[in-house]
Structure 1
Amino acid sequence: MRVGIIGTGAISHKHAEAYHNIGYEFAACTDVIPSKGEEFAAKYGGEFVRTWEEVCRHPRVDFVDVCTFPDFRIQPLELCAQTKKHIQVQKPIATNLETAHAMIKTARAGGIVLGVVSQHRFDDSSQFLKRAIGQQRLGKILQADAYVKWYRSAEYYSRPIKGSWATEGGGALINQGIHQVDILLWLAGRVSQVYAEWQLGALHKIESEDVVSALLRYASGATGVIQASTAFWPGYTERLEIHGTKGSAVISGDKLTAWDVENDSGEPPPLARDVASGASDPMAISLAPFERQFRDFGDAIRTGRAPLVSGEEGYYALELVDAVYRSCREGQKVRLNA
């Protein structure tokens, strides 16, 4: 597989390292700051081109990886649909549901594969829990929660576009908490109702939320909580908790740290203590789940199947984020079509 990368900021380096490790070829890249793009190309051995359009038309590119802010999504996707290049975008899929829906529709019409990077589905802990829930080892799910009590510095938000509605689509939930939103939906199913409260710029000088709490009602009847923040110094490892009629499981960071199940049998749980988390450092994350997701995306291209985190899956995560934001603005419960 040969990859073209649009945007050479911090996360693109993780992507490039993962591609190298799994044998994918980094073919071309671009960046709005040419010097950064050229440095990236020199470091990882690809070609720097001046425009994103050149990446989408590049003869040696099989798929395009968009590592930009989420306000830049539909533009490269529309061109990739024309040039028949598959496309993978960094989370979130977009800043709004209208754009996300247009992306899915355009990719289908163009016959290209659309994926959204949500690498924590590929953690050993998440994969084990998905299998275990499918095997009813926790019984009926009663509660599914996510807590992302992180910290980001004033320097992190020093650029006006950080935490902005137009460029990033919001604050702590859509940017930092979206991984846990995706995993909750993957493990516990769709949400039918949400009520939420937020604090806009509680600590940071941003227009969006740096503290938000939401109560969930899942379509299955289970309940849940999502808390997301970038205001809680020094930053604490994120947690995902699943409670069922037979027992409970807790994922801390990228590891399964608790598995308490009555009369349990079957695959041994991969319990661990040393976790990787972006609680205070956005880049303190493991490469392995990226490698697994990128292999999955390449296999989806080769076989014609949907990737594990398709455009539709990315839409569902954004849909829940949007419902939380609407509840905060309107001060009332919001129902979703689950």
Structure 2
Amino acid sequence: MSKIGVSIIGLGPACLPHARSLLDLGDQVEVIWAATRSQQRADAFAAQFPFPVTTDLEQAIHDPRVGAVLVLTPPAAHLETAERCLAAGRHILVEKPLELTVARGEQLVAAGHRAGRQVGVMLQHRFRPASLRLRALLEAGALGPIEAASMTVPWWRPQSYYDEPGRGTMARDGGGVLLTQAIHTLDLFRSLVGISAITAAETRITSLHRMETEDFACAMLRTANGAPGLLMTTTAFPPGHPERIEIIGGKGAATLAGGGLEVAYANGEHEVLAAEGSTGSGANIMDFPHDAHRELLRNFFAACETGQGLIVTAEEALASQKVVDAILAKARESRG
């Protein structure tokens, strides 16, 4: 496979695992530009990574050497930036979430279809080894039919996190803990067991934070086969703990905790896959390995070359964002 030319747009904290992954994938990609409107961020990035930097976004998009663009801006800028890249004939990968709203996400999906280009989304939890193993077990029927499932995200963000301009606002982030932090686990959970309905939900802003959007959400749900499910997520659980997915099947039960997996079968057999590192659940939001980012990007670049095989598509990300909307709508309904 020949190298694909790549531009990065957006050099905030989210770019770090992407950049580390691109270094690892140097045999497949060549970073043509790393772009930001901020000279300060451009200088800071250049001090860490050996990639050309620019504050000219048009140059990063329209350079003829560029075949794909990583759009790592805040969600509010995804649609406009993606449309410009797609119009220039570039494949794109956007950071999670897809966009501020489902409606804007649908516009982004439609733009990708019109352009005939790959549109991926960075929901990298699907690429953790433990997640891949659990998916394989479920697809093989090793756990039997799903009887019940739950997901919890007991994370922590200090108030200083939300004091940064735009954090936790509708205008920049499009939502709170559900869309900004829990979307990774929710997307993985939905892809594993399906979510057919939200039957009850509540959201709130706890006394631990001053912010516009929710820092706590819980819901009762139905999986794809109608089994009951539970969801709880927050950024008000100091010091922060690994997210968990628990699945009860007819033949056994599985616990996915951060990057680790434990499976206990009803016949007494047992399987353990150790976690590969931290998950960014605490105050240090970038405290996690970049391995899953690298593997998702590897899949994205392969899809750019072949035109097929993209796993985390814009449509998949949109489906997960629709679940977030359904939870928020049910919570509003419960408040009357």
User: Structure 1 length as normaliser, TM-score?
Assistant: 0.93
What are the superposed Cα offsets for residues 167-213 of structure 1, whole Å, 9 maximum, x if unpaired? 11111111110011111111002322342101125321101111111
Partner AA of 1:259 in structure 2: V
Q: Aligned pair 1:199/2:204, yes or no?
A: yes
What residue is the counterpart of 1:299 in the other structure? 302
Q: Is 1:129 paired with 2:134?
A: yes
Q: CA deviation at 1:67?
A: 1.1
1:33 to 29, 33, 38: 38
Deviation at 1:39, TM superposition (A): 3.0
**Aligned partner of 1:261 among 261, 265, 285:** 265
Alignment equivalent of 1:315, drawn from 314, 318, 336: 318
Specify whether residues 285 and 221 from structure 1 end up closer, same or farther in structure 2 by C-alpha distance, changes over 3 A only. same
Aligned 8 A contact 2:156 2:239 in 1: yes
Are the equivalent residues in 2 in contact too, given 1:195–1:216 (CA < 8 A)? Answer: yes
Three-state SS of the structure 1 residue aligned to 2:131 is helix
Percent pairwise identity: 32
What residue is the counterpart of 1:159 in the other structure?
A: 164
Which runs of 5 or more residues in structure 1 are unaligned?
334-338
Counterpart of 1:226 in structure 2 is 231
SS in 2 for 1:156: helix
Q: Equivalents in 2 of 1:102, 1:274: separation in Å?
A: 37
Indicate conservation of the 8 Å contact 2:38/2:55, yes or no. Answer: no
Query: Helix, strand or coil for the counterpart of 1:236?
Result: coil
Give the paired residue count. Answer: 330
Whole-Å Cα distance in 1 between the matches of residues 17 and 119 of structure 2? Answer: 20
* Partner Cα separation in structure 2 for residue 67 and residue 149 of structure 1: 25
Q: Taking structure 1 as reference, are residues 201 and 208 closer, same or farther at Cα in structure 2, changes over 3 Å only?
A: farther
Q: Which residue of 2 aligns with 1:11?
A: 14
Query: 1:225: how far off?
Result: 1.2
Residue 336 of structure 1 aligns with which residue?
Answer: none
- CA–CA separation in structure 2 for the residues paired with 1:146 and 1:21: 32
Aligned CA distance change for structure 1 residues 164 and 132 (closer, same or farther; 3 Å): same
Q: Give 1:9 shift.
A: 1.0
Q: Over aligned residue pairs, what C-alpha RMSD do you find?
A: 1.8
* Partner amino acid, structure 2, of 1:317: S
Q: What does residue 280 of structure 2 align with?
A: 278
Mapping of 1:1-338 within 5 angstroms?
1-23=4-26, 24-256=29-261, 258-263=262-267, 269-272=271-274, 275-280=277-282, 281-331=284-334
Aligned residue for 1:71, secondary structure, equals: helix
Would the aligned equivalents of 1:16 and 1:26 in 2 still touch at CA under 8 Å?
no
How far is the alpha carbon of 1:42 from its aligned partner? 4.8
